[in-house]
A and B are shown apart, each in its own frame.
Chain A
Amino acid sequence: MNLVIQGLLTQYLDEGDRRSPVVLILHGWGTDAKNFDSLAAYLAGDFRVLRLDLPGFGGTEAPAGAWRVRDYAEFVARFLEKLNIIELRGVIGHSFGGRIVIKGLAEGILSARQAVLIDSAGITHPKTMRVQVYGLVARIGKRLLALPGISKFAPGLRRRLYRSAGSTDYLESGNLRRTFLNVINENLAPAAARITVPTFIVWGADDLDTPPSDGRILANLIPNSSYSLIAGAGHFAHNDAPDRVNPLVKEFLR
């Protein structure tokens, strides 16, 4: 289904009984609402489950400029307004979606009775030596690639560089590139400390994108939180181990 929010055509899914308490799910970077098919179906018996494709992903148009996490949170708030949702029983955020939850709740842009963070992003780390070297190469490369005659090969070379740096998100984002840089450079630790609602933090033990240590940092920052580590699951814990994650989430939201 579609809505127009802030001028952007927005695709969303609305499941479960309309009279049930509402749960909102926010997906991660580079995926879309469909990434939560399993959890949404599991929750739809007890809740009205709303999922939207965030701007730039799935069936939702990309933002016109470079957005920050706050802009995404505002967008989600407008989405809820448009559907006349007054109260959220819970808001679930995965990875980048988790950033939106943290920012939105901390700044009062979003409100929910409870929050769930699955392999959430938001904790920044000092740059490793490897990333610093790649950053230097990228800066020199940018100058070189602008030279006449070489500029033709720029896209291919740039792709190769970022692939070897392990940062394909940056490329996949296309015109969301500047938004992506805004997003990853914002440390949300201070915001997390301001979340007051009960928060359930669930993490894949084998998550390589946002390591389980990030989860523990968040659990320490958010006063009213519990932390659950899922063995054998990676960055997409809800899809890697739905049989364990789904019941935990449902139990928490009830």
Chain B
Amino acid sequence: MKTVAVIFGGRSAEHDVSIISALTSVIKPLELTGQYRVEAIYIAKDGSWYWDDRLKDIALYQSGIEDFCQKAPKVHLLFEDGLTLVKSSQFAGRKMYRHIDVAFPVMHGTYGEDGSLMGLLEMAGVPYVGCGVSAAAVAMDKVLCKQVTGAQNIPTAPWVWFLASELERNSKPILAEIAALKYPLFVKPARLGSSIGITRVTDSAQLMNALEVAAHFDDKIIVEQAVANLFEVTVPIMGNDQPVAALVEQPLTKPDDFFDFDAKYLQGGKKGSSAKTGSQGYSNIPADLPKALYEQAQSLALQVYRAVGCSGTARVDLLIDTQTEVVYFNEVNPMPGSLYAHNWRQKGISGHQLVTELIRLAFERHAARQRLETTFQTNFLKQF
């Protein structure tokens, strides 16, 4: 039986969302397959790692996770022959070891979804689920991501970027650049997911407050022009070099209001039981679009996936101007909350098939990499 380490929590603003994703959309379905030994690895807000079966219970996080972290032994990682978890058994100084066959990171935001964790797993030489280092790093930086996709002629709504420190030093040229955009605008921290720190600004009077909020989260800020006649869709994608798209999904939000963190993760989650709704809130699956536009969206999403270099899975968000029928790329999310299992389910892929396939893809990518030569013999040292 293969051992899967599900890694979640983390030092990001999306710590809590990650716990819910991991427990409900990964650990539970993995255990239901009966094919894997599942180890829960929780990264606390202070960055400490814990490994314990009790971490699979949501009740622990609702009360007493601080107590748990105070008493439980922290985990050490051993990079011998892949990845091995080590912790004190808290009995007679003995240690517990568990060799990991594949890692399943379910982290959102900084230090988890941005490539850092992938780098660690890459160094350990252990197969892992989801995007690799470079794709994750590009995807998590909205500016970098738009630069990469822009270089491949993938359309985006007009945008500008700058550093908060530049704004502080000399705001004039930056504000002039922003003034060239048409309101309403979205002001966002460049490197944070989950809508945190994002403000929709309808006039210049609100701009400075919104910039301050974005700068609270990141030194790098992006300001984007809103797409007119907006029809927002999102496309979950899975695969390595032959990716497949799930259904084009339309998240349903209040037209004039912004889809904030609460609406996305907390309120919506409780209502997502009927066929028409997803665990992320109310959504239409498939999105109600004319056939040509639907296919255009699906194909653009796959183009983005390839351009960014995604593997495993990712979710591509698109903005459609229904009047001009132009599909714009908005952003790509390398570890979509809850894996978008509700969407895959509609495509006929159950929660446990989804996680099983993601693990197969992890092994596939790992094997492909192993086939590549990375070292070769020289007599360079002897000649020196």
Name A's B-contacting residues (CB within 8 A): 1-4, 9, 59, 82, 84, 152, 155-156
Query: Do the beta carbons of A4 and B70 come within 8 Å of each other?
Result: no
Query: Do the beta carbons of A9 and B216 come within 8 Å of each other?
Result: yes
**A1-B199, A2-B199 as given contacts; A9 in contact with B213, CB under 8 Å:** yes
Chain B's closest residue to A154 (CB) is B70
Query: Do the beta carbons of B67 and A3 come within 8 Å of each other?
Result: no
- For B216, list chain A residues within 8 Å (CB): 4, 9
State A230–B70 Cα separation when bound (angstroms): 45
State A86–B188 Cα separation when bound (angstroms): 29
State A20–B212 Cα separation when bound (angstroms): 27
In the complex, which of the residues B66, B67, B205, B213 contacts A2, with contact meaning CB atoms closer than 8 Å? Answer: B213
- For B105, list chain A residues within 8 Å (CB): none
**By the criterion of a CB under 8 Å from any partner CB, how many residues of chain B are at the interface?**
14
In the complex, which of the residues B71, B205, B212, B261 contacts A3, with contact meaning CB atoms closer than 8 Å? Answer: B212
* Interface members, chain B 193-216 (any A CB < 8 Å): 197, 199, 205, 209, 212-213, 215-216
Chain A interface mostly helix, strand, loop or mixed? mixed
CB distance from B44 to the nearest CB of A (A): 15
State A253–B70 Cα separation when bound (angstroms): 50
Q: Total contacts A to B, CB within 8 angstroms?
A: 25
CB distance from B375 to the nearest CB of A (A): 48
In the complex, which of the residues A1, A4, A59 contacts B212, with contact meaning CB atoms closer than 8 Å? Answer: A4
- For A152, list chain B residues within 8 Å (CB): 70-71
Chain B's closest residue to A151 (CB) is B70
- For A82, list chain B residues within 8 Å (CB): 209
CB distance from A126 to the nearest CB of B (A): 34
Q: Which of A2, A4, A82 has the most CB of B within 10 A?
A: A2
- 9 A-B pairs (CB sep. < 8 Å): A2-B197, A2-B213, A3-B209, A3-B212, A3-B213, A4-B209, A4-B215, A4-B216, A84-B205
- For A84, list chain B residues within 8 Å (CB): 205
- For B209, list chain A residues within 8 Å (CB): 3-4, 82
State A39–B213 Cα separation when bound (angstroms): 28
Query: Do the beta carbons of A155 and B70 come within 8 Å of each other?
Result: yes
- For B71, list chain A residues within 8 Å (CB): 152
State A2–B66 Cα separation when bound (angstroms): 28
